[in-house]
Amino acid sequence: MAEPFIRPGTPKETVFYVTFGVKYRSKPHPQGMHPDGYVIIVAPDEDRARMMATIQFGTNWSFIYDHLDVERERFDPRTHPKGVLGVFYAPDDWYPA
């Protein structure tokens, strides 16, 4: 997990990793993202993380991963040399009471 970039005590189940398509290696991404990096979204669940990715990037993102993908090595942050490109938090009212 990218601990330095998220608030201490954030449950790992609420941390999602968003990647960007290889087309942005040669074409500028509208928000300056790059396929060699990723964005962290903190949200109560994957559906709301996807909503946040869509709010931030429209359709200009590729995949979303969770802590299980990291643990199973389906997503390895070390394979993205640019590292964390940004961190976004879902609004507090998106969290269940």
- What is the model's pLDDT at position 16? 97
Query: Exposed, middle or buried: residue 5 (CB in 10 Å: 0-12, 13-18, 19+)?
Result: middle
Q: Give a yes or no: residue 53 inside a domain.
A: yes
Q: Give a yes or no: residue 40 inside a domain.
A: yes
Give the C-alpha separation, 13 to 42, whole Å.
Answer: 9
Whether pTM > 0.85 for this model: the answer is yes
Q: Give a yes or no: residue 1 inside a domain.
A: no
30-64 pLDDT per residue, tens: 999 999 999 999 999 999 999 999 999 999 999 99
Q: Give a yes or no: residue 4 inside a domain.
A: no
77 Cβ contact partners less than 8 Å away, ≥ 6 residues apart:
2, 17, 38, 70, 83, 84
* Host domain of residue 71: 10-92
Number of domains composing the chain:
1
- What is the model's pLDDT at position 26? 92
The neighbouring-strand residues paired with 83 are: 37
Q: Give a yes or no: residue 54 inside a domain.
A: yes
The secondary structure element, H or E, covering residue 47 is helix 46-57
Q: Give a yes or no: residue 3 inside a domain.
A: no
